[in-house]
Structure 1
Amino acid sequence: MSDKGSRSGTPKASSRKSSKAGTPKGSKSGTPKGSKSNTPLPTDPQAMTQEITEEEALAAGASNGALQPTEVDVTAMGTSNELGETETEAEQEEAVQEEDDRPSVISLIKERVTVQGLTEELWKEFHDEAINQFINDPGTKLMVAYMDPVKGFLVEHAIPPYLVDQLTYFIKATSVKELNADTFLTKVQYGTIKGNQIESLLRIMMGIYAPIFFENTSWPDSIKNDFSAQLHKFLANLTDTRWKLEGKTVLYIPTEGLKLASEEAAKNKDLVQRLETAMIHWARQIKEVLSNQDAFEMAENSGPLDEIEFWKNRCADLTGISTQLDKPGVKKITEILTLAKSSYVGPFLKLSSEIKEGSRQAESNLKFLLVLKDPCYELSEAPMT
């Protein structure tokens, strides 16, 4: 017989005091208090290492929390290399294009040849050969192009032995070993001479070189003074020679110092000395003209027509000198030398007055002699009986 209140022989009190499923009171499913996951904390070192590796991989930018090997975009690299090669080829083609667009030395020379009557059809193969020799041969320093009355257009490396109407010259600097399009304009001097060579030389010297030399302020005074003095003498003789070929007397008028005030210029002893040299040359020219009358009077077998021609030329020469003496340059130099108390001013002014008087005398003589020109010409053409 069992006790009252007991089922299956188990005491009632004992059953109420026992815990559910052997779990301590206050604990739910064996999970520590404050934990929301039923997964136990890892205690395996290998698992911890794996988690650290995954975090590093995530920090390094790997996707899906796993470290993946870096993949190289071969297509991108190939495209980059192809672009680089394309750019290099484009630069090379551009350089070649620039080289092709650059004019050749032969074309530069042909463009600068200025000879009357020259046409494109006159350029022949032997002309190009002469030009190539000038370009490639370091020993060839001169080349000229001109029109020969018999042989036609010529390109040679020597000055022709006779006068030509027009000549283009090219002079290569002595230091040039290789002539190309880049060095042509700096290493080759060229120009054209037309008409008489002395006339062209005087025109170039007076128009280009003399102003450059006299206005140069970078030279030391000792060098400039000596060079200027020699240049004035050369220009004076060149001017005299050039106009004597036409039977005229032309005074060389220096331009140096004419822009300065007369008082300032008179204080420059070197300048005064050079201006005195010019005045001495004027005096020599005037004396030569005045002495020509005596030479004609001593000539024999001169008839009336010869005397008329003499006074005609003399009148033109003396009148030309008298006009030149009234030019502002001559008056300026005379004023400077007067302020500098030069001893050459007095004799020059005396010769100047003689020129003016001789000019009036020549005009008067020519006026009356021209009345006899026609009768004398008829007598000279009349048959002798």
Structure 2
Amino acid sequence: MRMTTLYDLRDEDWTDDVKHAIEEWFLEPRALIFCVYFKGDKLKATSDIPLSPVFDLTYFLRQPDFVFKAESFHDDIVFGTFVDSVEANMIQILEYVYAPYFFAINTWPDSVKSEFCSHIHTFLAKLTDMYYKMLGLTVLYIPREGQQLSFEAASADRELVKRLEGVVVYWTHQIKSCIEDQAFVASQKELLCPSDEYDFWVYRHENLSALRHQLKNPAVKHITKILVTTHSTFIHQFQSLCEEIVQKINEATSNIEYLQVIKQPCAILECVVDPDEISKHIPQIINLFRFIWMESPYYNSETRITNLFKALSNQIIILCRTYINLDELFGGATKKALGEFSKCIDCCKKYREIYDTMAEAHNEMKPNSWELDTGSIFNYIDSFVQRCFDMLDVCNCMIIFGRIDEMENINRPMFGGAHGDKFEAKCDQIEHMFQDALNNVKRVSYSILDVQAPSWYDDILQFRTVIKDIEIIIENLVETVFEGVNHVEEAVVALYSLNNYSKRKNLKRIFKRKTAEVWAMFSEEVQEAK
């Protein structure tokens, strides 16, 4: 029962029926396979493979008509566990069930067997690498072939040595890739924060340590000894990389120790809700970055410190992005959104000011001591600020052209006179044009604050093109309305009806001109009244 490894298996799952099925299998040598698995919450044990899918399954195999003995049972039984991973099951079956039979064949021509077994090793090495790489691990495929031979006997088998060389070449490739993995690889939509940098070095330390542990495996040492004895040309690079692993583990250990100092301050920063509070935490974090820069034996390069500052920029963007509620904005809360975007812009500007002030202070104390790529550090910050400005414009347009304001009820433009209905229809057309443009922005709301999504630049350009068309229509409307004005009272009513449009910066000029014309008209009427 201890050889069965199923998820959430408990002692109480071993019912009398299961134990009886186990006894029957031992007493029936013709039954070649025995399976233990869960069907629902109930443990099942049968000499057949289940016909319906199961989460995991432990199997036991015997050769035909083989009778087990208690003293040699563990040596004679072949067993394993299938899980819900196709790759893991394939590795297990091929490596522990089929491959040993092929390696033991002695009736094939040497060249045929060697080529076939080489392909098995290559396939298993690549499949093992791929499967564990998806789990974030570097795992070596260790061939079982030749393990039962002394290194002298194995060294005399030239075909075996060639096959083992192929495996070691792949090990070399894996180790080299692991060593060169110096930076956290983010997905396209992921912004990395300082805590991610710390987590990466913890992961790197664990991965390298696990790799070093694998290299201490007696089977690996046995293969290494065989290739050293045969003076293989591939073994020297492998051994050199093995020594380099120790150096890289020391580097990871040191980086973890130094990055540990920013873990708590950055964790506190991650909990900040209001962008106005972010700037209070920035100086301490920047000072700790500077401490790491000056004191760490491995993390003192400009590239790595620049990456730390980029991670801090990302963290600030994430906090600001969380603070902004686009759903509320598109639900009509334009004034609230104006405040949110303005706060985030001020926060990003303060961050840049604090950085520049501290960098300048350090350079005054020690010239050229703070030389980092500020363009790279603030690239996303600048992009985020620009997007906030874009949305400030959208918010203002919602108020002016869409009459969307949660704090004020903006009346629909009303006109008198013979052409009043025509003017009101034109205002309705303007509002419909704007709503269509706004709906297009709403459809791409997922990319508005995503600084890694360049598609937003095309979307906001399209929006502004429509706004430009609307402004031209309004200018023409104003001119047309005032063409039919005969006295001051009608002019004042026209200005009042169009007043909401006058808040648009690009339209202020025409409204100022028309206001001046109304004053001139009023002055003329006063003079005539005298």
Compute the TM-score of the two structures, normalised by the length of structure 2.
Answer: 0.37
| 1:248-287 alignment, distance < 5 Å | 248-287=137-176
What is the deviation of 1:116?
2.5
- 1:207 corresponds, among 52, 77, 96, to 96
Identical counterparts, % of pairs: 36
Which of 229, 233, 245 is equivalent to 1:339? 229
Which of 345, 350, 362 in structure 1 is aligned with 2:240?
350
- Mapping of residues 123-142 of structure 1, within 5 Å: none
Distance, in Å, in 1 between the alignment partners of 2:34 and 2:251 is 52
> 2-side partners of 1:255 and 1:243: how far apart?
19
Residue pair 1:145, 1:167 contacting (<8 A) in 2 also: no
Say whether 1:227 aligns with 2:116: yes
- Deviation for aligned residue 1:314: 0.5
What corresponds to 2:337 in structure 1?
none
Runs of 4+ in structure 1 displaced over 4 angstroms? 111-115, 294-297
1:140 aligned residue: none
CA-CA distance at 1:192 after TM superposition: 8.4
Does structure 1 conserve the Cα–Cα contact (< 8 Å) formed by 2:184 and 2:200?
Answer: no
Q: Is the 8 A contact 1:308 1:366 kept in 2?
A: yes
More displaced, 286-295 or 356-365?
286-295
Give the 5 Å matches for 1:160-239.
Answer: 165-166=55-56, 193-239=82-128
2:51 equivalent among 145, 161, 174 = 145
Asked if structure 2 preserves the Cα contact closer than 8 Å seen for 1:266 and 1:339, the reply is yes
Would you say the 8 A contact 1:311–1:366 is kept in 2?
yes
The one-letter code sitting in structure 2 at the alignment partner of 1:265 is A
Aligned to 2:215: 325
Q: Secondary structure at the match of 1:378?
A: helix
5+ unaligned residues in a row in structure 1: which ranges? 1-108, 121-142, 148-163, 169-190
Secondary structure, aligned partner of 1:116? strand
Distance 1:198 1:301 in 2: 31
Residue 378 of structure 1 aligns with which residue?
268
> 1:202, 1:239 within 8 Å by CA — same for their partners in 2?
yes
**Structure 1 position 117 matched with structure 2 position 23:** no
Q: Give the CA deviation at 1:311.
A: 0.4
Aligned mates of 1:306, 1:295 — CA distance in 2: 8
CA shift, 1:194, in A, is: 2.8
* Map of 1:240 onto structure 2: 129
Taking structure 1 as reference, are residues 365 and 260 closer, same or farther at Cα in structure 2, changes over 3 Å only?
A: same
How many Å apart are 1:261 and its aligned residue? 1.9
Distance 1:379 1:192 in 2: 45
Structure 1 residue 346, shift from structure 2 partner: 1.0
Q: How does 1:21-36 map to 2 (within 5 A)?
A: none
The residue that corresponds to 2:301 in the other structure is none
Q: 1:325-356: CA deviations, max 9, x gaps?
A: 11111111111111111111111111111111
Q: Would you say the 8 A contact 1:322–1:359 is kept in 2? A: no
For the residues of structure 2 that align with 1:118 and 1:212, how far apart are their CA atoms?
Answer: 35
Q: Aligned partners of 1:113 and 1:263: how far apart in 2? A: 41
- Aligned-partner residue type, residue 350 of structure 1: S
Report the alpha carbon displacement of residue 310 of structure 1 after superposing the two structures with TM. 0.6
Tell me how far apart the structure 2 counterparts of residues 374 and 272 of structure 1 sit (CA, whole Å): 53
Equivalent residue of 1:293, what SS?
Answer: coil
Deviations 1:91-124 (A, max 9, x none): xxxxxxxxxxxxxxxxxx9x9886632599xxxx
Which sections of structure 2, spanning at least 5 residues, go unmatched?
A: 1-30, 43-48, 59-79, 277-530
